[in-house]
Structure 1
Amino acid sequence: MPGEPDDVVDGRISRKARLRMYRHAYVARLTEVLNDDHAVLGAYLGDELWPRMRASHIDAHPSGYCSLPNFGTSLPTYLAQVEPFSSYDELAEFERFLHRQSRSFQCGACLVDQPGRARC
């Protein structure tokens, strides 16, 4: 991550630089989650489409959960609605199936959205 001339001010890292570092780490972690949790989809899409899908999905659906295993719950809908992925009906259906299966192994608190409470 290249620096900018105003990254260090009076011997301290600027707010702008810290936010840029945080964003880089955040995107890297969400990318890792998608790589781990959706490896079959990644293999199917290949080296050209998989990175493109990951980046555009992260931009369109940043995590609203405090628990990373829940990141990606919007992936089936995303795949069904966004080109070129929506051209492949089996992608969204496969991810819906996997999502239903994974929910059976989550704790009850993770499955209930309660107003005013952070989703885990």
Structure 2
Amino acid sequence: MRLTEWQLAFEQHLLADTSVADTGFAATLLGGPSLDVDTGLAIYHNAYRARLHEVLRHDFGAIWYWLGDEEFVLLAEAYVRRYPSAHYSLRWFGERFAAFIVEHLVAEQSAPLAELARLEWAFTLAFDAPQGEPLSLNTMALLPPEDWPDLRVSLAPSVQQLICHFNSVAIWRASKDQGDFPGSQALDTAHICLVWRHQNVCRYRSLEPAEACALAGMVSTGWSFSELCGELAVTYSEGAPLQAVTWLKQWVEEGLLERRAP
């Protein structure tokens, strides 16, 4: 057996549903005085799957907190079988976990659980995202007055946006605090939750509808600062410029924005 064939056979053993090795592959190996081939291969197989479960527990700790050990293990094992690790880095192993929950469970169970999984994955994405060049208050202070009306911005690379229909943020917070499970509840009104990294720390907060619309107008629709003021004038009348500046300052302080090129 050539080296590449042996490597593929070993990979197939690790990915198999059973720890019992193929007899042909096992025959190519030699056991030791204290460990026979079949036992050694079973250890490798079980250790690999245990490592995958460990990755899921780490990336989706709130799901683990919600389900408990036994149910989480069952869900994780089903995920491992459905979506074996296909990337050289385990960093990406949980990428399909939220989608898998939707396809694996009935809608009543999957909807809040998948939303929580998406929230947890947003933290992973935010933590690993490129730094980018977020605006700072010092940069804004140096902006010439004539540049303000046409100022356009985009989200910093780390910013993730999630529409929450359930109290996923409260459940996530309770899992971090190791508090009592608050119970899953549908929200009366869905809200936008932002997750991002600022000064090497992951942060999060929910947006009120008016602020969410204003931010979306600038980063998605492409409003300039003057257009933002014009849109806010419908609601805030003469106070629109002050409200626009207040939000813009907060977004900049939080490290949410980059300047968009003209």
Q: TM-score range by the shorter chain?
A: 0.5 to 0.7
Gapped regions of structure 1 (runs ≥ 5):
109-120
2:82 matched residue in structure 1: 60
Question: Is 1:69 equivalent to 2:84 in the alignment?
Answer: no
Amino acid in the other structure paired with 2:122: R
Report how far residue 86 of structure 1 moved: 6.3
Q: Distance in 2 between matches of 1:101 and 1:47?
A: 22
| Conserved? CA contact 2:59–2:120, under 8 Å | no
CA RMSD in angstroms, aligned pairs only: 3.2
1:39 matched residue in structure 2: 61
The match for 2:71 among 14, 25, 49 is: 49
2:118 matched residue in structure 1: 96
| Conserved? CA contact 2:62–2:120, under 8 Å | no
- Higher mean displacement: 47-56 or 26-35: 47-56
Amino acid in the other structure paired with 1:48: E
- Higher mean displacement: 33-42 or 95-104: 95-104
| Conserved? CA contact 2:56–2:94, under 8 Å | yes
TM-score, scaled relative to structure 1: 0.68
TM-score, scaled relative to structure 2: 0.34
Report how far residue 59 of structure 1 moved: 1.4
Q: Distance in 1 between matches of 2:58 and 2:107?
A: 20
Q: Distance in 1 between matches of 2:128 and 2:39?
A: 37
Identity %: 26
Q: Distance in 2 between matches of 1:85 and 1:19?
A: 39
SS, match of residue 72 in structure 1? helix
Q: Distance in 2 between matches of 1:45 and 1:55?
A: 14
Report how far residue 87 of structure 1 moved: 2.4
Amino acid in the other structure paired with 2:67: L
Amino acid in the other structure paired with 1:56: A
Larger radius of gyration: 2
Q: Distance in 2 between matches of 1:19 and 1:34?
A: 23
SS, match of residue 87 in structure 2? coil
Gapped regions of structure 2 (runs ≥ 5):
1-19, 131-262
1:87 matched residue in structure 2: 109
Amino acid in the other structure paired with 1:102: T
Q: Distance in 1 between matches of 2:124 and 2:31?
A: 48
Q: Distance in 2 between matches of 1:44 and 1:107?
A: 27
